[in-house]
């Protein structure tokens, strides 16, 4: 059996990323410091952050506590963050990253992503609604944002740069102008949205993929009671009981066996441990193919806030 526990995936620029990390979206500032400390104690070395999550300072506190205790060194950790939609204008990009570095209390990131291809009006509000309750868009093209991202690598503020929520056509546009190619595309990915075509495309271009919301994001703010709950899927539960594992563990193992990086979020110590405990079993090829059949275009994070944006990644029939 392949041992994935210490697995890393190599980017096209040579940097390596641990295949498994901790998500931090929706982790409250009052909870995230302990969660990151617990995760580092348990062996996590990759933390997925974003300016938009509003908790980078508290993530940084945990990192510094563990460095001060001698549990890890900065170079043992892989830190990702993301450029929010209101900072796409090229002259705002470096300042946005520096604000993230200040919050995290580090002097470089391992990976900085454009969070979404959609730019929003740069007026200070992260969600700049107008009086009619609609988000105000900016007309910045993400290819211009990318050129500003490249400068961050040259200035050693981040080791690698990449994308998040970009579709095939949008990635192709980036590749046409890139001097530094994106090393990663972070996208929603789980059995209800297995993203096979987009993953195959990214792989063909040497772009690694990170699977976000791998457990189906049950704590997403827009969840409705009638929405399906991935971890409660009867077929998944039956499969998990056969392996004597939990549905969450099967969902995470599924991604690791596809050689995808994955970043489940939890602020609960027992779950942070449970989610990491997936390196002692292997799903058969037959079961991997069975899980593939769950695909139903079931997107939990459609970003309806940005509907109508000319660069919305999910609004046309591209993938
Ligand atoms: N680039 C992007 O646009 C996006 C990136 N992401 C990234 O991906 C990460 C993960 O995705 P996210 O949407 O948060 O959702 P996940 O699919 O990771 O689900 C998180 C939820 O599952 C619960 N949970 C975690 N482990 C278990 C378990 N073993 N058993 C039962 N419940 C469990 C958590 O509860 P609790 O915390 O209470 O334990 C939380 O409610 C984000 O946190 C973020 O870092 C996510 C969305 C968009
Ligand atoms: C409705 C509320 C309370 C928040 C909206 C959050 C939002 C705009 C999410 C969309 C982007 C997203 C899924 C980011 C995760 O990284």
Q: What is the pLDDT of residues 45-104, one digit of tens each?
A: 999 999 999 999 999 999 999 999 999 999 999 999 999 999 999 999 999 999 999 999
Residue 255 covered by a domain: yes
Q: Identify the pLDDT of residue 3.
A: 56
Active site residues: 53
Domain that holds residue 101: 8-295
Q: How far is the CA of 206 from the centre of ligand 1 (A)?
A: 27
The annotation status of 115 as a binding-site residue, yes or no, is yes
CATH number of the domain where residue 219 is located: 3.20.20.100
ipTM associated with this complex: 0.98
* Predicted TM-score (pTM) of this structure: 0.98
The reply to whether 92 falls in a domain is: yes
Distance CA 155, CA 180 (A): 13
| Helix, strand, coil % over all residues of the chain, rounded to 5 | 40, 15, 45
108 in a domain, yes or no? yes
* Ligand 2 atom, smallest distance to 305 CA: 8
Q: How far is the CA of 302 from the centre of ligand 2 (A)?
A: 10
- pLDDT, residue 291, reads 98
* pLDDT score recorded for residue 316: 81
CA 101 from chain centre, in angstroms, equals 18
Give the number of domains in the chain. Answer: 1
Which residues contact residue 289 at a Cβ distance below 8 angstroms, ignoring those fewer than 6 apart?
Answer: none
User: Do the domain assignments include residue 2?
Assistant: no
Within-domain flag for 319: no
Structural domain contains residue 309: no
Residue 102 lies in a domain: yes
| 319 vs 316: CA distance, rounded Å | 8
Report if residue 303 sits inside a domain. no
Distances (CA, A) of 306 to 90, 119, 200, 268, 315: 20, 9, 26, 31, 10
């Amino acid at each position: 059996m392949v041992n994935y526990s210490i697995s890393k995936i190599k980017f096209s620029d040579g940097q390596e990323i641990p295949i498994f990390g901790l998500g931090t979206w929706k982790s409250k500032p009052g909870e995230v410091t302990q969660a990151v400390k617990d995760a580092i104690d348990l062996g996590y070395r990759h933390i997925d952050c974003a300016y938009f999550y509003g908790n980078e300072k508290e993530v940084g506190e945990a990192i510094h506590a563990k460095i001060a205790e001698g549990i890890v060194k900065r170079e043992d950790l892989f830190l990702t963050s993301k450029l929010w939609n209101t900072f796409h204008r090229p002259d705002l990009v470096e300042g946005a990253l520096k604000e993230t570095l200040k919050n995290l209390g580090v002097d470089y990131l391992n990976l900085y992503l454009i969070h979404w291809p959609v730019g929003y009006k740069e007026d200070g509000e992260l969600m700049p609604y107008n009086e009619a309750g609609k988000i105000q868009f900016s007309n910045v093209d993400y290819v211009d944002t990318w050129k500003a991202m490249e400068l961050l690598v040259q200035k050693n503020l981040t080791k690698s740069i990449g994308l998040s929520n970009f579709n095939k056509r949008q990635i192709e546009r980036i590749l046409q102008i890139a001097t530094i190619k994106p090393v990663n595309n972070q996208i929603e990915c789980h059995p209800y949205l297995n993203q096979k075509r987009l993953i195959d495309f990214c792989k063909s271009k040497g772009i690694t993929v990170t699977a976000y919301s791998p457990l189906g994001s049950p704590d997403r703010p827009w969840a409705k009671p009638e929405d399906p709950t991935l971890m409660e899927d009867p077929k998944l539960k039956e499969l998990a009981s056969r392996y004597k594992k939990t549905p969450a563990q099967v969902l995470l193992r599924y991604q690791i066996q596809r050689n995808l990086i994955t970043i489940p979020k939890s602020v609960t110590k027992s779950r942070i441990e449970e989610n990491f405990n997936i390196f002692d079993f292997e799903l058969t090829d037959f079961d991997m193919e069975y899980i593939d059949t769950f695909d139903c275009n079931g997107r939990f994070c459609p970003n309806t806030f940005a509907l109508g944006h000319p660069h919305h990644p999910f609004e046309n029939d591209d993938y």
